[in-house]
Amino acid sequence: MLNNQGRPTQPANNNEASSRRRETFTGNRGLQQEEGLIFEFGRAEVSGVDIDEPAQFKPRLGKFERKTPLGLPGLSEPEAVRHYVRLSQKNYSIDAGLYPLGSCTMKHNPRLNEKMARLPGFSDVHPLQPQSTVQGAIELIDELEKWLLELTGMSAVAMSPKAGAHGEACGMMAIKAAHEARGEGKSRHIVIVPDSAHGTNPATAALIGYTVRAVPARADGTVSAQAVREALGPDVAAIMLTNPNTCGLFEKEIVEIAKAVHEAGAYFYCDGANFNAIMGKVRPGDLGIDAMHINLHKTFSTPHGGGGPGAGPVVLSQALAPYAPLPVLGVDKTTLPGKSFTCLIEQEPELAGTARKPFGRMTAFHGQMGMYVRALSYMLSHGADGLKQASEDAVLNANYVRARLSDIMSLPFGDKPCMHEVLFDDKWLKDTGVTTLDFAKAMIDEGYHPMTMYFPLVVHGAMLIEPTESESLASLELFIMTLRDLAFGVLRGETERFTQAPRLAPRRRLDETAAARNPILRWTKPEAISVAAE
Amino acid sequence: MSSIRYTQDHEYIRIDGDTGTVGISDYAQQQLGDVVFVELPESGKKIGQGEQAAVVESVKAASEVYAPVAGEVIEVNGALEGEPGKVNADPAGDGWFFKIRIGDAKQLDTLMDENAYAEFLKSLG
């Protein structure tokens, strides 16, 4: 059987699975083909392209010269094509089906976005091109900035961060710069983070040198202003809060929290991962937020995960705006006499005489141009009213799932409206012999990507479902009926359906423990295993 | 004679004279699931009560292990680095984390005895 190298695939105690007879001669299951690692079937003597032997040359690498062959697999062109096509067919994506991964917002990536991003004026530009030759691209960034500021009610935006956590780092660095400018850089060393926060929040605070002070959530899943007030003090630099929070609930006391934070001389960072639930409805600037990243790859429908690079612009309040990192947009009046055009200011001296004091820069260039084009396409094609409806539909869809499943699955905070995602816990699984993990794995057999599980950590056996606005009523119904069928299966005692799942996936239950305890991170040539330790 | 005390964070400390052996409770290991990595403190390190002393990572989550009482770490269970599964198999025995020289025996009074801990677990449902 192929693929037995480096891949512990089954729990050791899974007797049913290990004694399972090969279902087919080939190992393929219908048109679902078994695919080995490229190294397993590559042959060094084969090549898809003709490459001339290099002429005589004198190596100058000295002691860095390779001592062993590179070991690249050799493949013909059709072999290479088939390999990657087969792998791609094992992937599950938003283009293949509903992807209810809570907190990740796997929404449809409109094809119009792709069409726009492929316009040569956007796709064939280079960051080192003279700015006068990419005026359209710079104007697009300017336009996108305006939309982001309009939607958030903030003063400035740092476009360059490349993902959510990168945006968090950017926002927290702006906060640090503001405290340093006031001479309080050293005395304020604490960042308050609720215990329901995204894991990246405390990680970001710690990376930037802050100590994290946790605030527990209340029994209803939200953070109380009183608890925040008690955690505040002259040593606190900021609070990092997600709204709507990771339980899918709107933080009702957010305005009061912001007020308390500002009175204590601290700043308010909001994790904007869930902005897709409130875009067009609530402006973070009006809530008293000082910095928030926006995941273009969540809220504004640019590809997400393996499908494309993230982009996490950070909007900043008036207090933090001066510290926005380079590059910033400005007006160039000197390059072409008599003409002025929008430009990206790349150097701090060019900002002399303005209020801007950038804390540095986050990236070598200006960020993810292709994602800017897609995000702006989404905004322009939806319009202000359409964006608002997208938020409303996302919330409506999550509540529809909640309402249709709440009679059978358990809700940790009672049966009340949620925002764009609905959180179930595992109370309803108690004493059934089925865990959240088993239930999620059984969804794979039914053709669905599982929901987010065991997150947020504040809820036991959490199952976080985010359908997004992309799903039609018919699609939601099918999903709900599947979950109901599975749930009734649990209650009927069909335990094996779950504990043995997935039974129909290319790989069955992975042995995560063995993989974590004895990770095999490199493929090793089978015959070379005995000498691999050298 | 040795006795055992528990914290609300599910660490135990087995007391033997002025020495305490610290680990995580059976309940904690069940909640964590299969432990895949343990980071231990350095021998000789002085830690305060409630301060982070070790890290335990399972397939589900990473958690901090806090010192039940203040003191100096005098020995660590190096075997856990190669075989973290011992924490699951025998949390109260082979799966111990570190031994501490108890700085202030009075702090032990702030902890729960076996019965109180059992009651505490019941209250968690």
Chain A, nearest residue to B80 by Cα: A517
B85 CB neighbours in chain A (<8 A) are: 513, 517
Contact: B36, A457; criterion CB under 8 Å: no
A283: buried, middle or exposed (CB in 10 Å: 19+, 13-18, 0-12)? Answer: middle
Inform me whether the C-beta atom of residue A516 falls under 8 Å from chain B C-beta atoms.
yes
- Axis crossing angle, helix A200-207 with helix A164-181, rounded to the nearest 10: 40
Flag whether pLDDT at B97 surpasses 50: yes
pLDDT at A528: 52
At residue A11 the predicted structure's pLDDT band, cuts being 50, 70 and 90, is very low
Alpha-carbon A322 to chain mean position: 28
Inform me whether the C-beta atom of residue B87 falls under 8 Å from chain A C-beta atoms.
no
pLDDT at A2: 28
Among residues A517, A521, A399, the alpha carbon closest in space to that of A469 is found at A399
User: Is domain B3-104 classified as CATH 2.40.50.100?
Assistant: yes
Contact: A513, B36; criterion CB under 8 Å: yes
Inform me whether the C-beta atom of residue A111 falls under 8 Å from chain B C-beta atoms.
no
Q: What percent of chain A has pLDDT over 70?
A: 94
Please state, in angstroms and rounded to a whole number, the distance separating the CA atoms of residues A321 and A314: 10
- How far off is chain B from A90, nearest CA to CA, in Å? 24
pLDDT at A512: 84
Flag whether pLDDT at A70 surpasses 80: yes
Mean pLDDT of A192-219: 92
pLDDT at A12: 39
A7: buried, middle or exposed (CB in 10 Å: 19+, 13-18, 0-12)? Answer: middle
A516 CB neighbours in chain B (<8 A) are: 34, 36-37, 59
Contact: B61, A457; criterion CB under 8 Å: yes
pLDDT at A20: 52
Contact: A516, B61; criterion CB under 8 Å: no
Beta strand residue intervals within chain B, DSSP E: 3-6, 11-16, 19-24, 35-39, 46-47, 52-58, 62-66, 71-76, 98-102
pLDDT at A5: 35
- Name the least confident of A291-295, A468-472, A519-523, B119-123: A519-523
The DSSP 8-state label assigned to residue A322 in this structure reads G
**Residue among A454, A457, A517 whose CB faces B84 most closely:** A517
Contact: A516, B37; criterion CB under 8 Å: yes
Read off φ and ψ for residue A36, nearest 5 degrees.
Answer: -85, 175
**Cα-based angle B42, B46, B52 (whole degrees, multiple of 5):** 75
Flag whether pLDDT at A534 surpasses 90: no
**Contact (CB, 8 A) for A207 and A347:** no
- How far off is chain B from A199, nearest CA to CA, in Å? 11
Inform me whether the C-beta atom of residue B84 falls under 8 Å from chain A C-beta atoms.
yes
Inform me whether the C-beta atom of residue A454 falls under 8 Å from chain B C-beta atoms.
yes
**Cα-based angle A510, A515, A518 (whole degrees, multiple of 5):** 155
Contact: B34, A513; criterion CB under 8 Å: yes
pLDDT at A6: 45
Long-range contacts: A61-70, Cβ < 8 Å, 24+? Answer: A69/A44
Chain A with chain B: Cβ pairs closer than 8 A: 17
- How far off is chain A from B62, nearest CA to CA, in Å? 11
Flag whether pLDDT at B96 surpasses 60: yes
Where are chain B's structural domains?
Answer: 3-104
Please state, in angstroms and rounded to a whole number, the distance separating the CA atoms of residues A103 and A199: 12
- Name the least confident of A44-48, A423-427, B4-8: A44-48
Mean pLDDT of B40-66: 92
Flag whether pLDDT at A7 surpasses 50: no
Count CA atoms within 13 Å of residue A116 on its CB side.
Answer: 22
Q: Tens of pLDDT along A296-318? A: 999 999 998 766 789 999 999 99
Flag whether pLDDT at B55 surpasses 60: yes
**Residue among B59, B61, B84 whose CB faces A512 most closely:** B59
Please state, in angstroms and rounded to a whole number, the distance separating the CA atoms of residues B68 and B10: 9
B64 CB neighbours in chain A (<8 A) are: none
pLDDT at A532: 45
Mean pLDDT of A509-514: 87
Mutate to test the interface with B, among A431, A436, A458, A517 (most CBs of B within 10 A): A517
Q: Which residues pair with B101 in a beta bridge?
A: B19, B72
What single letter denotes the amino acid at residue A188?
Answer: R
A454 CB neighbours in chain B (<8 A) are: 60-61
Alpha-carbon A296 to chain mean position: 10
This prediction has a pTM of 0.87
Question: What DSSP letter does each residue of A271-305 carry, written as one string?
Answer: EGGGGGGTTTT--HHHHT-SEEE--TTTTT----G
Contact: B59, A454; criterion CB under 8 Å: no
Chain B, nearest residue to A518 by Cα: B36
Flag whether pLDDT at A260 surpasses 90: yes
- How far off is chain A from B63, nearest CA to CA, in Å? 11
Please state, in angstroms and rounded to a whole number, the distance separating the CA atoms of residues A160 and A363: 6
Q: What percent of chain A has pLDDT over 90?
A: 73
Structure tokens at A49: 């392209």
> Mean of the per-residue pLDDT values for chain A?
91
Structure tokens at A330: 């400005």
A60: buried, middle or exposed (CB in 10 Å: 19+, 13-18, 0-12)? Answer: exposed
Contact: A454, B60; criterion CB under 8 Å: yes
Flag whether pLDDT at A10 surpasses 50: no
**Contact (CB, 8 A) for A364 and A160:** no
Helix (H, G, I), strand (E, B) or coil at A189: coil
pLDDT at A17: 47
Of A454 and A323, more confident: A323
Please state, in angstroms and rounded to a whole number, the distance separating the CA atoms of residues A264 and A88: 52
At residue A72 the predicted structure's pLDDT band, cuts being 50, 70 and 90, is confident
Contact: A517, B60; criterion CB under 8 Å: no
Torsion of CA A17, A18, A23, A28, to 10 degrees: 90
Please state, in angstroms and rounded to a whole number, the distance separating the CA atoms of residues A332 and A329: 10
At residue A382 the predicted structure's pLDDT band, cuts being 50, 70 and 90, is very high
Contact: A512, B85; criterion CB under 8 Å: no
Q: Give chain A's domains with CATH numbers.
A: 385-517 (3.90.1150.10)
Flag whether pLDDT at A395 surpasses 70: yes
Structure tokens at B92: 């109260």
pLDDT at A307: 61
Flag whether pLDDT at A156 surpasses 90: yes
Q: Which of residues 21-80 of B touch A (CB under 8 A)?
A: 34, 36-37, 59-61
